[in-house]
């Protein structure tokens, strides 16, 4: 029995959810998202609530039950509230700037990295004196914002000795001890 799959999803005001065959479409103030439901899983809308019901007890169907419920819940939350991720650049000389949908990163390489962001993502970079530069990403699609943030982080992952690199805001990095002094 899937506890996640059996949970009811409340549809907030201003969000329109439609089921056309096996495609669920969510429209709202922030945009539109759709997801194709595969397998023997049915989506039922009753008033302002949505439930995901599985048609049989096969292992494959059980595994997708909670998955599709979570994906639909994330779509509804993204369309109504949106998602925001903050990244911080830790390191001497690390900088970030934006020009439209281009994110320019200076990360200690011999060249700057220019990353083209998808049009759905809004980005804001800040650099205050005495603080690490930050990159704030906003989007209505949780999967897209997570993938873009992971790609930006992959340009310079945090290293365990000095902690330099791109990290999520509030992320704890496991630190390692450096070399010990030479023996006499």
Q: What is the mean pLDDT of residues 131-143?
A: 95
Closest C-alpha to 87, from 154, 143, 140: 154
* pLDDT higher than threshold 90 for residue 178: no
Q: In this structure, are residues 56 and 112 in contact, taking their beta carbons and an 8 Å threshold?
A: no
CATH class of this structure's domain 83-168 = alpha beta
Is the pLDDT at 59 greater than 60? The verdict is yes
9 pLDDT tier (thresholds 50, 70, 90):
very high
What does the buried/exposed string (b/e) look like for 78-100 if buried means 16 or more CB atoms within 10 Å of the residue's CB? Answer: bbbebbebbbbbbbeebebeeee
Query: Based on the number of CB atoms within 10 Å of its own CB, is 61 exposed (0-12), middle (13-18) or buried (19 or more)?
Result: middle
Contacts of 86 (CB under 8 A, 6+ apart): 134, 135, 136, 137, 168, 169
Q: Give me the DSSP letters along 52-106.
A: EEESS--HHHHHHHHHHHHHHHHHHHHHHT-EEEEEEEESTT-EEEEETTEEEEE
* pLDDT for residue 177: 87
Q: Is residue 180 pLDDT above 80, yes or no?
A: no
Strand pairing partners for 50? Answer: 9, 45
> CA angle at residue 148 from 69 to 41, to 5 degrees?
15
In this prediction, residue 179 carries a pLDDT of: 83
Other CB atoms within 10 A of residue 8 CB: 10
- Are the beta carbons of 22 and 36 closer than 8 angstroms? yes
Tell me the average pLDDT across 13-32: 92
> Mean pLDDT for the chain?
92
Average pLDDT over residues 58-67: 90
Q: How do residues 94-120 score in pLDDT, each as one tens digit? A: 999 999 999 999 999 999 999 999 999
Edge to edge, what strands does the sheet with 122-126 contain? Answer: 122-126, 134-139, 83-90, 165-168
pLDDT at 1 over 60: no
Do 3-80 and 83-168 agree at the fold level? yes
Query: Is residue 184 pLDDT above 80, yes or no?
Result: no
Q: What is the DSSP letter of 110?
A: S
pLDDT of residue 181: 65
Under CATH, which architecture does the 3-80 domain have? Alpha-Beta Complex (3.90)
Return the domain boundaries, the chain: 3-80, 83-168
- Rounded to two decimals, the pTM is 0.88
Cα–Cα dist 104/79, whole Å: 28
């Amino acid at each position: 029995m899937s506890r996640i799959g059996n949970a009811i999803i409340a549809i907030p005001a201003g969000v329109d959810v439609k089921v056309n065959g096996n495609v669920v479409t969510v429209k709202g103030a922030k945009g539109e998202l759709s997801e194709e439901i595969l397998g023997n899983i049915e989506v039922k809308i009753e008033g302002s609530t949505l439930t995901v019901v599985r048609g049989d007890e096969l292992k494959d169907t059980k595994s997708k039950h909670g998955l599709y419920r979570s994906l639909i819940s994330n779509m509804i939350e993204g369309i109504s509230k949106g998602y925001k991720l903050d990244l911080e650049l830790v390191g001497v000389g690390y900088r970030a700037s934006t020009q439209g949908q281009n994110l320019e990163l200076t990360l200690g390489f011999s060249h700057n990295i220019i990353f083209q962001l998808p049009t759905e993502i809004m980005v804001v970079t800040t650099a205050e004196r005495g603080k690490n530069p930050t990159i704030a990403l906003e989007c209505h699609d949780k999967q897209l914002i997570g993938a873009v943030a992971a790609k930006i982080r992959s340009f310079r992952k945090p290293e365990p000795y000095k902690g330099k690199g791109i990290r999520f805001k509030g992320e704890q990095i496991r630190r390692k001890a450096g070399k010990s002094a030479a023996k006499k």
